[in-house]
Each structure stands twice: as structure tokens, then as C-alpha cells.
Structure 1
Amino acid sequence: MQPIISVKGLSKTYAGGFQALKTIDLDIRRGEIFALLGPNGAGKTTLISIICGIVNPGSGQVLADGHDIVKDYRAARTKIGLVPQELSTDAFESVWDTVKFSRGLFGKAPNPAYLERILRQLSLWDKKNEKIMALSGGMKRRVMIAKALSHEPQILFLDEPSAGVDVELRRDMWEMVRGLRDSGVTIILTTHYIEEAEEMADRIGVISGGQLILVEDKDVLMQKLGKKQLTLQLQTPLAALPKELATEPLELSADGAQLVYTFDTQSEETGIADLLRRLAGHGIDFKDLQTSQSSLEEIFVSLVRAPR
């Protein structure tokens, strides 16, 4: 299946010589939730802004559902909905009027039933006649999403969708995004909430210093780069590790009552079994054990900090 977004050799240098993007190649699959992660200034917003036609590309090519974003701008832009990080909408308009107007901007025929469905999904229907200035920050964020969906796009960009949104509303938004994905809409989100990407994304892209340093299925990424720790509560505290175990990735707690073994997920079964046999061989018994796995946040931090 052809990717719904194809980015080839994309670079961008701003006036003054700052290179925001450095030869980005990226394909986004139709119908997936793709999370783009990166620290502040990494190039996330520049990349999204170029794809959405807000910022001119320096070099390279971007296709949105087969349409070149420069040569066939109008057709490409019609395929895309964007929810920007900043809340920017007419404060004196009603919710209904601003969403209806956004649909009209794309030349779409009126469809009140569709707009009503969007507003109901976003829990905005009972606010449809209220002025936007009277809404809470979370509700204004929902209005921005409704505007982005008003013209029935196949691609939806969410730039920091949970910024300033409380936990309950964030969960509601996640459910709505999953529903959009299930209906065939491709979702691309940037987020500072790593748990948001861990919860929702099918694939993860990590950008740092204007370079795309990794693109991977989320589950594969967690499997390949995740670390696990086995913590053993010892029956009898140790003064020190036996010499034969000193080269193992083992750490003895200060009181000698706990051993922590760090291993990668791919060597889980053989590593743990071998360790327990070797401990038993040295007369080291344990009374309890537990395992923990590194989070996507820890993997992300290690990727961004790694020298390139």
C-alpha cells in the first residue's frame, strides 16, 4: 500500500543560516497513528508546518495522498487537517459558526449532520451556540479539533494536542483519536507527554537536531531498546558479590539485602534462568523477586542523548 505521506530529502534552512531540518526521509502509512517525538527545537513543528503548507520547504519533495504539496497545493491541503499547538480562533464567534465556516473554506457543501456528529464526539454539542471566548482552555482545544475535522480530511496532524488539557479530557481525546484511526483517518501527533505516545501510537519517530534518528513500530522499539530489571530480595544479606559474579550486570544494594540484575528484553529467558542457577551455586537464596521494564520515556531520553 502506498504511504499516505511521503517525505523525500526534505531540508529547511531559515534566514540567518539556522538549519531546522537535515535531509528528512519519512513514509507514513495509511490509517496509522504516528507519534513524532523530540526535544524543543528538534524540528517537529517545522516538519509538520511544511507538510501542511504553512512553511515553504527548502529542498526535497512531500506528497500528501499522492499530491505534491507545492505543485498541487490545493488538492494536498484538502486532504489535511491541522490542530496547531497555539489556540487561535475567533473568540467572538459561536462554536457552530466557526466550525461551519472552516468547512466552507475548503469548498465543501454544507453538511449539518456531519458537523453535529463531530461536535457530539467532542462533547461540544451542548456548547454549539456559545461564544468561543466563554469556553475553558480544554473546550477551546476541542473546538480546534472540530475545525480541523470539518472538511473531512484523511490526514490529521495534532501538534501537542494535550497541552493545557486536564487528565480526564486527555483520556477522552485519546479515545476520540482511536475512533478516528478506526474510521480510516491517519493521525500524526507530536507530544511532550511520552505516555501519550506509549498509549496510542502504532509507530514512533524520534527527531533531534533536525535529523530523524529513528522510525520504528512502537512494540518493536520497546522490544529492541527496552531494558528490564530483575530485583531479588535476598534471604541473607551479602557483604559483597562473589568474584565469579563481579562481571555480571549485577548491583548489590548498600545494605546487601537486594540484588538488581539489568538485561535486555531479547535475552530475558536465558539470562534470568542462568543467573538464578549461578546464584544458587554460590548458596545465594532469595525470598522475593520482581521485574520492571524501561518506559518509552527512558528509551527516548537515551536516543536523544546518544552521540551521533
Structure 2
Amino acid sequence: MRIGLLGTGPWALLAYAPALHGHPEVDFTGIWGRRPEAAGALADRFGTRPYADVDALIADSDAIAIALPPAVQAPLAVRAARAGRHLLLDKPLAVDVAAAREVADAVRETDVASAVFFTSRFADGPRAWIAEQARKGGWFTAHASWIGALDGGPFANSPWRHEKGALWDVGPHALSVLLPVLGDVREVAAATTGPGDTVHLVLRHDAGTSSTVTLTLTAPGPASGAAVELRGAHGVTAMPSSEDTPVSALRRMIDTLIDSARTGRAHDCDAAFGLRVTQILDEAARRLP
């Protein structure tokens, strides 16, 4: 599959470009970025070509991978889908519901394949655990926490993360684990803030269960980490860690996209799921004090 990459920032460098470059079933078509010099440098590093015109790259590709801020990602995803190109998307799909719906609608109407990179859903260990807990059922409640320290990391200068905070950056990860196990969110029952950009949520799910979520990007470095714990008829279980890197997990998502394009079977983490996550995040944001 010929796949072009949109984006030249840290996530494109650390994850998307190496994943595309090393995938045996991918012809890495080229790279477009808002900064042409960065596109040229990244293309040289990964043995492909820079594009000055985004539409030219879309035309030369079977699929488009997007590693750009969500407000930039959404309209470009619609553009690529309308051109009949499959989509490798990053989370969140968008930072407003209308933009996310435009992406999901374009994917549905053009019948292209799509996948959104919710890391735990593609990482060995977590993905198998999620599937097993969803199969077992019988869960009473759950708690998910994604605790990050943005300062000093590769995304320390990310304007959209500083503007939108943990709810929109790591909130999608928590929801991507909770929804397949506990069911869709019926209601964001409570939402409040803590230190820095910390957000605490109480969610009610369709199956009658409830969950709590803690999200932050402003914790001390030693406090960082992600955890999900389920309690129910089977006792207590915690999501295992993964030895996957973002690159290996992303290559697994590429496998998923190629399979979806060949078979016509949508993956659980497609654009429609990305839209649903955006809707829940938007409801939570409106409930925050």
C-alpha cells in the first residue's frame, strides 16, 4: 500500500515515519508538512521524498497517515477521504464534535478504511487484556488514570496540548480502554479539576456500570504512568504493561488498515469510534467548572 505522511513534528519523527519506513507491506510515498524544510529533512532521513503540495501527495498515495494537531488533522482527513484515500489517524480525531463528524461522515460516504491510533488498542498485552475483559463481562466498576509530565518531554512545546490539556490529549486513551469493556458512556455524571490541568471524571456506562478517570499532563515526572483497574464478579484485574514501542504498535495499526482496505471490515478503532470519543470528551469539557 502506498502511504503518504502529513506532518513533520515530534510524533511524525518518533512514531509515524519509522513505522511507515520499516513496514514490509508499505511503499512510503512521501512527506508533506507545513514547514517545507522540515519535510525535506524528515524525508531524507527515512528514504522518501518531500512534497510541497499536499494534494499531490494525496493523489500519489493509496492511504494517508496524519501526525498533525487535531484541529489541522480533521479537515485534511476529510480532504483525503473525499479523494478516496484510506486513513491512518491520530487521537483525538478532532477537538470539536462537528469537525470529528465531518471526518466520520466522509469515511462512511466514500467507504474508505480508517484507523485511529489509540495506543493501548494496538499494543501487545493491553489489547489482548481489553478483548478478554470485554468477553468476560460482569464488571462492577473501573478506574483509569493517565498521569503525564509534559514539561521536558518531546511534546513540551506542543501548543495544542498546552491549550486543551490532559482531557483531550490522554483522555482518549482512557476512553479507548473503558468503552469496549464497560460499554458506551451514557452520561458524564461529574467532572472537576485538580492541580495543573488535572481532570477527574465520573462516567456512567450503558451496561449499568460506572467508572472514574483521572487525567493530567502536569504531574511530577516520578508520578507518571497509566493504569486501568477493573472490579467485578471475577475479582480485580489490572491492565498489563506492554513491551511495544509506539513504532511497533503503530505498525500493528497499519496491518489493521491494510486488512480493512482489503476485506471491507471496519476496525473497532475507526473514525466512527473516534467521533464517539470526541463526543464524550466534549461533554466532559462542558461539565468542567
TM-score (norm 2): 0.30
More helix by share: 2
In terms of Rg, which structure is larger?
1
